[in-house]
RNA sequence: GGGGGUGUAGCUCAAUUGGUUAGAGCGCUGCCCUGUCACGGCAGAGGUUACGGGUUCGAGCCCCGCCACUCCCGCCA
């Protein structure tokens, strides 16, 4: 080893020892007659002192010429700092190393952005940070994120090992199964014209592992989806993926609650209460207007369908007449909303297909609204009662088909909460974690444009047993044995009990999803066959590992918890990928490019 | 594919709403400084205002286009 100690190790009891530190020049203070250099490594930093009276001039001059972030090796004697010069801000602040030798391992150029000043560094343009990710990752905040990620990964592995799970790797080179997310294709050299695909998830392999008798599988699995990126979505990401045999939904709830309890304890030393609350998909939509509600605050939706069934306000009564609903929320204290905010909400509502956004402002004891003149006293009384309307409130309405109306107000609810938080009228504590299970999702959703049913989750999800007969007669009513785990309005993960009978799976593929039998055979034939040779009932779940870490780190973007993330356009600014390849490489893959090459 | 935001010195930001030679702090270079830790002092260098057009007597600012980053919608079985 080149060093004897790391930079957060020396304390006053090391006084007198001769030590060697290795690290980066964090900062240097050249006072002319004496130079202080803080040497930093990933553990912390220690002050070294270069005193010309006890050093060759040549060594002193080299120390004076060091630039920030150069890598050095300093040998010297540990000593207590003189009275009154301790630095309480750093853990090694009671001592310093009186340098005797200096080896410059790598003289750094002037940096493109500062890494020593956390105030400035955290504000640096992300483009620049990604271009020089190796510098960005030196920042303490990023080091903390990487460490926490590693710790949680280890805690996860230990937990699953304790629970009797096997960690099993599944192939990265898989087969295209174009249901669902767009896939990355990998052309085969050995098989001209054929392609592998990178897995969107190890779903099919893990189910096959259950048929194989593994019983309990888990993996920190890399997944790939060629879809547009977001703050919480990358082209490649990591899932805590697991599958178990001979279980029911309750077993998964229990297992995952145990995992998250362990993770929160390990990462944040927080005891989260279990079991988690459960809410049905229908109730989540009815109360919060979204299937992943943030339950840290109220602002719940209320239903007024019956009250407005024969209302004098045509927009409402016709919505009900068409089988829709009338719903409203009370944004407490938001009567002062600006015209701009009302417009922003209206735009949001319109993006869901609403024609407008009706509202009532309660100001100076008066209901100010373009529509309140259509309301009867009974209607007003119902509103006032169900929404506990008070001075200063803002009531917002949606009248539409059930799902649409709920979703509109769900968005509005989040928008209002954000505004109220910035105005200090609503507290949403960042250190509070509201976990819940969302259950009883509809197994199927209807695609109006393509005029067919599609799986809400994925086609392997088992229907609730008593709903199986409805599969072909009334698909809308079939509930899936699907569950999502949600925290603070973030979908942490989802899974289901799977279909383990080949004939049910076949009905779902061919009769419900209307996939032609030959396509089913080509894509999923091996699964249906496997299910015929002794398939245990099984189920599982996958948790977004990057999202999980981001929540624990308190950052809104998973880029902050991934060492080398891609930009919103899917490029890597450090390596400049994706990039043009050599014609020979394409020839080997039997590929001819049509698109114009960009240099 | 669509909508919003941002782009000015190496970095973070100004520029009195279209008006002289585009400024500040940090960083950088040089000099001074023996107890600093955001060291201090003096001096200095550093700009195609992302890029390309246009309007104007005059554009960092207005208009059109384009690029990059970012947030959102679509998309994410």
pLDDT for A229-243, tens place per residue?
999 999 999 999 999
Average pLDDT over residues A273-290: 96
What are A23-42's pLDDT values in tens digits? 999 999 999 999 999 999 99
Residue A589 has pLDDT above 70, yes or no: yes
Residue that terminates a domain, selected from A422, A448, A469: A422
Question: What's the domain count of chain A?
Answer: 3
Q: pLDDT tens digit string along A524-543?
A: 999 999 999 999 999 999 99
**Cβ of residue A44 lies below 7 Å from strand B:** no
Residue A29 lies in a domain: yes
In a domain, A537, yes or no: yes
Same domain for A64 and A38: yes
Average pLDDT score, chain A: 94
Which CA distances in Å does A292 have to A165, A213, A220, A438? 28, 34, 24, 7
Distance of A117 CA from B26 C1′ (whole Å)? 10
**Nucleotide at minimal C1' distance from the A119 CA:** B12
Q: Residue A451 above 90 pLDDT? A: no
User: What is the maximum alpha-carbon separation in chain A?
Assistant: 96
A179 CB and strand B closer than 7 A? yes
Q: Are A74 and A46 part of one and the same domain?
A: yes
Strand nucleotide closest to residue A131 (CA to C1'): B69
Whether the beta carbon of A123 falls within 7 A of nucleic chain B: the reply is yes
A296 touches strand B (CB under 7 A): no
Does A229 fall in a domain?
Answer: yes
Q: Do residue A255 and residue A318 come from a single domain?
A: no
Nucleotide nearest to A347 (CA to C1'): B3
**Which long-range CB contacts under 8 A does A109-118 form with residues at least 24 apart?**
A109/A67, A110/A67, A111/A68, A111/A69, A111/A135, A114/A68, A115/A69, A115/A139, A116/A26, A116/A27, A116/A68, A116/A69
Tell me which of A430 and A183 has the higher pLDDT.
Answer: A183
What's the whole-model pTM score? 0.95
Domain termination site, one of A373, A394, A422: A422
The answer on A397 and A455 residing in a single domain is no
A452-475, pLDDT tens digit by residue?
A: 889 999 999 999 999 999 998 999
pLDDT, residue A429, reads 86
**Strand B nucleotides with an atom less than 7 Å from a protein beta carbon:** 1, 10-13, 25-29, 32-40, 68-77
Nucleotide nearest to A567 (CA to C1'): B69
Q: Which nucleotide is nearest to A568 (CA to C1')?
A: B70
Residues A174 and A253 in one domain: yes
Assess whether A111 (CB) lies less than 7 A from strand B: yes
Confidence of residue A450 (pLDDT cuts 50, 70, 90): confident
Q: Indicate whether A358 and A273 sit together in one domain.
A: no
Whether residues A357 and A439 share a domain: the answer is: no
Tell whether A415 and A486 lie within a shared domain: no
Tell which residue, A368, A266, A251, A382, has the closest CA to residue A327. Answer: A382
What is the percent of chain A with per-residue pLDDT over 90, rounded to a whole number? 85
Which nucleotide minimizes the distance between its C1' and the CA of A32? B33
Q: Say yes or no: Cβ of A107 under 7 A from any atom of strand B.
A: no
What percent of chain A stands above pLDDT 70? 99
Q: Write out pLDDT tens, residues A316-368.
A: 999 999 999 999 999 998 888 877 788 878 877 877 777 778 999 999 989 99
In three-state secondary structure terms, A251 is helix
Assigned domain for A549 exists: yes
Please check whether strand B approaches the CB of A46 to within 7 Å.
Answer: no
Find the CATH number of the domain harbouring A481: 3.30.930.10
Q: Is the CB atom of residue A581 positioned under 7 angstroms from any atom of strand B?
A: no
Give CA separation, A3 vs A7, A13, A23, A189, A367, in Å.
10, 19, 9, 48, 74
Whether CB of A110 is under 7 Å from strand B: the answer is: yes
CB-strand contact A480/B, under 7 Å: no
Are A392 and A493 in a shared domain?
Answer: no
Which residue places its CA closest to the C1' of nucleotide B32?
A32
Residue A31, CB, strand B, below 7 Å = yes
Q: Are residues A264 and A302 in the same domain?
A: no
A188 part of a folded domain: yes
* CATH code for the domain in which residue A44 is found: 2.40.50.140
Q: Is the shortest CB-to-strand distance from A364 to strand B under 7 Å?
A: no
Q: What is the pLDDT of residue A346?
A: 84
Model confidence at A598, pLDDT cuts 50, 70, 90, reads very low
Q: In which domain, by residue range, is A55 found?
A: 12-106
Residue A579 domain-assigned?
A: no
In whole angstroms, B73 C1' to A233 CA is: 15
- Residue A154 is assigned to a structural domain of this protein: yes
Q: Is A478 exposed, middle or buried (0-12, 13-18, 19+ CB in 10 A)?
A: buried
Residue A290 CA to residue A292 CA, distance in Å, equals 5
Is there a contact between A23 and A72 (Cβ–Cβ < 8 Å)?
yes
d(CA A398, C1' B52) / Å:
47
Choosing from A394, A422, A450, the residue where a domain stops is A422
Residue A417 and residue A441 share a domain: no
**A103 CB-to-strand B distance under 7 Å:** no
Please check whether residues A442 and A417 belong to one and the same domain: no
Q: Is the residue at A541 inside a domain? A: yes
Q: Identify the pLDDT of residue A596.
A: 54
Which pLDDT does position A595 carry in this prediction? 65
């Amino acid at each position: 080893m080149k060093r004897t100690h790391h930079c957060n190790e020396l304390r006053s009891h090391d006084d007198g020892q001769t030590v060697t530190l290795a690290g980066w020049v964090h900062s240097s203070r050249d006072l002319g007659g004496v130079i202080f250099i803080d040497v930093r490594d990933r553990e912390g930093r220690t002050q070294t002192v270069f005193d010309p009276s006890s050093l060759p001039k040549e060594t002193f001059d080299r120390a004076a010429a060091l630039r920030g972030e150069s890598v050095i090796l300093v040998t010297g004697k540990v000593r207590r700092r003189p009275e009154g010069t301790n630095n309480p801000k750093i853990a090694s602040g009671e001592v310093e190393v009186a340098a005797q030798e200096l080896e410059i391992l790598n003289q750094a150029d002037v940096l493109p952005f500062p890494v020593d000043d956390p105030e400035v560094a955290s504000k640096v343009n992300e483009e620049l940070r990604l271009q020089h990710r190796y510098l960005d990752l030196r920042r303490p905040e990023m080091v903390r994120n990487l460490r926490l990620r590693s710790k949680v990964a280890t805690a996860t592995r230990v937990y699953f090992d304790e629970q009797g799970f096997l960690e099993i790797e599944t192939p990265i080179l898989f087969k295209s199964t174009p249901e669902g997310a767009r896939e990355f294709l990998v052309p085969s050299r050995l098989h001209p014209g054929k392609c592998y695909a990178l897995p969107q998830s190890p779903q099919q392999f893990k189910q096959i592992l259950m048929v194989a008798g593994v019983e309990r599988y888990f993996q920190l699995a890399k997944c790939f989806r060629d879809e547009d990126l977001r703050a919480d979505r990358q082209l490649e990401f990591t899932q805590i993926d697991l599958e178990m045999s001979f279980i029911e939904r309750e077993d998964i709830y229990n297992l995952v609650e145990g995992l998250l309890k362990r993770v929160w304890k390990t990462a944040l030393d927080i005891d989260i209460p279990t079991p988690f609350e459960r809410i049905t998909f229908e109730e989540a939509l009815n109360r919060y207007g979204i299937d992943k509600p943030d339950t840290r605050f109220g602002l719940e939706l209320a239903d007024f369908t019956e009250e407005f069934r024969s209302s004098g306000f045509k927009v409402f009564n016709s919505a009900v007449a068409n089988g829709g609903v009338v719903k409203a929320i009370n944004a407490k204290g938001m009567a002062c909303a600006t015209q701009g905010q009302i417009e922003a909400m209206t735009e949001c509502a319109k993006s869901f297909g609403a024609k407008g956004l009706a509202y009532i402002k309660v100001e100076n004891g008066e209901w100010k609204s373009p529509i309140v003149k259509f309301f009867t006293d009974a209607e007003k009384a119902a509103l006032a009662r169900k929404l506990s309307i008070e001075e200063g409130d803002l009531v917002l309405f949606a009248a539409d088909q059930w799902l649409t109306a709920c979703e509109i107000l769900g968005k509005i609810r989040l928008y209002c909460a954000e505004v109220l938080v910035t105005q200090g009228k609503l507290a949403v504590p960042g250190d509070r974690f509201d976990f819940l299970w969302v259950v009883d999702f509809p197994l199927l959703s209807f695609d109006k444009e393509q005029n067919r049913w599609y799986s809400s989750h994925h086609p392997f999800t088992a229907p609730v047993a008593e709903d199986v007969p409805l599969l072909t007669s009334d698909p809308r009513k079939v509930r899936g044995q699907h569950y999502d785990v949600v925290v603070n309005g973030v979908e942490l993960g989802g899974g289901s009990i799977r279909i383990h009978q080949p004939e049910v799976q076949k009905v779902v593929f061919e009769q419900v999803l209307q996939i032609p039998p030959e396509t089913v055979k080509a894509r999923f034939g091996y699964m249906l066959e496997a299910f015929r040779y002794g398939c245990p009932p099984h189920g599982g779940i996958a948790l977004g590992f990057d999202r999980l870490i981001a929540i624990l780190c308190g950052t809104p973007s998973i880029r902050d918890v991934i060492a080398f993330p891609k930009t919103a356009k899917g490029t890597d600014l450090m390596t400049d990928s994706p990039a043009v390849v050599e014609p020979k490489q394409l020839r080997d893959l039997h590929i001819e490019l049509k698109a114009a090459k960009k240099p």
